[in-house]
Structure 1
């Protein structure tokens, strides 16, 4: 058995699970300051009722797209180190992302052993290469095989991208393939296109029904957008933003507030369509920039969307 606190929190499909997503501080941040940054984040979260945190492993995705990156890429501290800090300080589960393409299987094996023993990592999400360009030392499927052969029993999650479903119509098949490779839950890319997410989840639920299996939990990610620059970055990351949504944000007197209202509306549409399908849902709120107003807005968005999901789940049990 995995000794994952997240696994037990996530075991009741009728309950939501609620996360805050964050990135480790930049690599050139003094290690003493990193602890203070973690304290500051957790201080901000004291007013909300959340189940755990998600720590991303940021990649330089410039190979995926020919447009320049709106915010310059900077390496960050090790995701395991920051996860351990947040876990020790908050005593809550922390999901640690790991980008696998840069090192070979032997290296990845070491990474897993250190993650388990030195950094107390129990819950992980593996991410493949952002594109097929460049050198890939380890494919995602080989990373899953390496993980399976490893003696530590991690609780494994996968990434799901509704935008791929929009283009290829096969994301539900990818989810099922990842389940076969050991994934117990999924975390979406930030949702700005409700319909793409509904299409993907509906297809996934239908396929699970056909196979007679229970759908895995899908944790939906939402992120505030307070400026044209943040919107440009959201699109650069490959997140689908319908034209009308972009225009509503950019032409609003208060773009940040408008983005929160749009996110709540999108979330309501998704849960209206998907709770009846029997997919256990969760929520992850992240700020894609370190602008104070967007971080504060992420906390407000968390409150709004958690209340929305809690209410809908309660109604579904009437």
Structure 2
């Protein structure tokens, strides 16, 4: 069977909504992994979402000289955690896969196992965090291997507005990745609305110039409740304007302030980009295991989903009139 999400992604008049998560640490006993999945899903019973996104966490120390705020620890196989979440929730799961550590033969075997053993249908492939180190399979080669595979994966890619702000060519990367098979894109967490608006605007205009339809863009948002979380956000390469950092750190309730900032950022993005005809979606994640930030992520999901739903309805009304 092909991806059930694929049909939803083609319904351009609706948003698509996800919760992002990471597999438990590798030393977690398997029975506890299943229980952790169940505990997460129990928190989500009060929201309407299309599926989950499971990340493949990499050791990104080669990307940056600053020490990682939270020590890196390997996790369980994202395919396994995706399978558990799908079985327990009955919803589809997008599974991330870091490809640089495997050669072509290993990656081909991984794809076969992911499809037949773990039931993965929706993939986002991620390349090396930096150009240094032992890269056994470049991302472009991984796209080629997947394209040659007869299994009908729905392929997505990552897009980074910060990269566009620095190099000015992320919109061209999106088009190139589309030619390599990517049917949707997931952003890095958004804390700089203007950087995202610049990228999406340039992408939409380039698509129009080339006579192509824009792919669906899933915008990621994450609450921030402490200076340590903010440090981690910035370590990940997420652009946080100085005024935004100061607002969060000076707030009596940093989590509430970050939710307000994320809401305002989404409103700015929608006002600028919905008229451009880019189909959008949301992915809400908590970057830590703190209960307060996980609960805040669910509140943020409710607020942002309602905002996107309303904006889409208003946009349809405007076009109808």
- TM-score grouping bracket, smaller chain normalisation: over 0.9
Instruction: Output the TM-score relative to the length of structure 1.
Output: 0.99
Which residue in 2 is equivalent to 1:166? 165
Task: Find out whether 1:137 has 2:136 as its counterpart.
Answer: yes
Q: Distance in 2 between matches of 1:21 and 1:211?
A: 33
Unaligned runs of at least 5 residues, structure 1: none
Task: Find out whether 1:201 has 2:200 as its counterpart.
Answer: yes
Which residue in 1 is equivalent to 2:259? 260
Q: Distance in 1 between matches of 2:212 and 2:150?
A: 27
Which residue in 1 is equivalent to 2:90? 91
Which residue in 1 is equivalent to 2:177? 178
Which residue in 1 is equivalent to 2:291? 292
Q: Distance in 2 between matches of 1:6 and 1:153?
A: 12
Which runs of structure 2 are paired with 1:50-61 in the superposition (5 Å)?
50-61=49-60
* SS class of match (1:72): coil
Q: Distance in 1 between matches of 2:227 and 2:83?
A: 34
Deviations 1:246-279 (A, max 9, x none): 0000000000100000000000000111100000
Q: CA deviation at 1:11?
A: 1.3
Which residue in 2 is equivalent to 1:103? 102
* SS class of match (1:187): strand
Task: Find out whether 1:215 has 2:214 as its counterpart.
Answer: yes
Instruction: Output the TM-score relative to the length of structure 2.
Output: 0.98
Which runs of structure 2 are paired with 1:268-279 in the superposition (5 Å)?
268-279=267-278
* SS class of match (1:317): helix
Deviations 1:165-188 (A, max 9, x none): 000000000000000000000000
Unaligned runs of at least 5 residues, structure 2: none
Q: Distance in 2 between matches of 1:3 and 1:151?
A: 12
Deviations 1:171-209 (A, max 9, x none): 000000000000000000000000000000000000000
> Which stretches of structure 1, 4 residues or longer, exceed 2 Å deviation after superposition?
none
Q: Distance in 1 between matches of 2:73 and 2:44?
A: 25
* SS class of match (2:62): helix
Which runs of structure 2 are paired with 1:238-253 in the superposition (5 Å)?
238-253=237-252
* SS class of match (1:192): coil
